[in-house]
Amino acid sequence: MAEDNSPYKAVATKCRRSRTKFTEEQLKILINAFNKKPYPGYAAKQRLALEVNTEESRIQIWFQNRRARHRFLKRPEKNLDLRQDRVYPEENIQGMRDRRCRTSYTSSQLQTLMNAFMENPYPGIDSREQLAEDIGVPESRVQIWFQNRRSRLRIQKKREPEEASAQRQNQGQDL
C-alpha cells in the first residue's frame, strides 16, 4: 500500500455492503456443497442461494473465498507457483461451463451506466443498488459492469501511447 492513488484507499471512504453473517446451519450446507463440488455452476449456485436464503452473488463470493483458503491450506511450503491451480479437473470445468446467461443492456441502460461511471468509477453499495434499481438489473451485474469497465479503460490507456508511437513510426516510413 505505498501509493496514494490505491483503489483500496478509494474504497475505504465509500460504503461497503454490510458483512453477511452465515448461521451454523447455512455454513453446514455451504461446506457440504463445497466438499462435493468446489466449482458449482450458475444453476447450482442459485439452488444453494435459495436453500440458505441469500443472494447468488453471496454464494459466489463465499466459494471464491473458500477456494482461496483451501489453496492456502493445501499449498506445499516451497511451492510458490499458485497458478498451477488453474488446471482444472474435468468435473470442475463442467461446472464452470454452466454460466449465468449473458446480460444484454439496452442503449439507455448503458447510457445510465456510462454517466454514473464518469461521475464515479468506484460506486459504493448504495450507489450500485440505486443504479441497479434505476436500470432494472441485479446489483451484482452493476458491480461486474463497473469492474469490466475499469479494466478495459486501463487497457485502453495503456495502449494509447503504444499506438501513438506506432502511428509516428508509420508516418516516418511514409515520408
Partner DNA sequence: GGACTAACGTAATCACAGC
Partner DNA sequence: GCTGTGATTACGTTAGTCC
Q: Does 165 bind DNA (CB under 7 A)?
A: no
Angle at 151 between CA 163 and CA 70, to 5 degrees: 135
Q: How far apart are CA 102 and CA 129, in angstroms?
A: 20
Among 29, 34, 37, 61, binds DNA (CB under 7 A): 61
The grid coordinates listed for 153 are 479503460
Q: In whole angstroms, how close is the CB of 175 to DNA at the nearest point?
A: 26
Closest CA relative to residue 150, chosen from 175, 125, 113, 111: 113
Closest CA relative to residue 109, chosen from 157, 155, 148, 142: 142
Nearer to DNA, 120 or 169 (CB): 120
Nearer to DNA, 47 or 100 (CB): 100
Q: Does 63 bind DNA (CB under 7 A)?
A: yes
Measured CA to CA in angstroms, residue 44 lies from 30, 102, 154 at distances of 11, 17, 33
Are 123 and 116 in contact, with CB atoms under 8 Å apart?
yes
Q: How far apart are CA 141 and CA 100, in angstroms?
A: 11
x/- map, 15-44, DNA, by CB under 7 A: -xxxxxxx----------------x--x--
Identity of the amino acid at 117? F
Q: Does 150 bind DNA (CB under 7 A)?
A: yes
DSSP letter for 86, please.
G
Contacting DNA within 82-141 (CB under 7 A): 82-83, 85-86, 95-97, 99-105, 110, 122, 124-125, 141
Nearer to DNA, 36 or 69 (CB): 69
Q: Applying CB under 7 A, what is the total number of residues that bind DNA? A: 58
Nearer to DNA, 83 or 175 (CB): 83
Residues at the interface with DNA (CB under 7 A) = 1, 6-9, 11-12, 16-22, 39, 42, 58, 60-69, 71, 82-83, 85-86, 95-97, 99-105, 110, 122, 124-125, 141, 143-152, 154
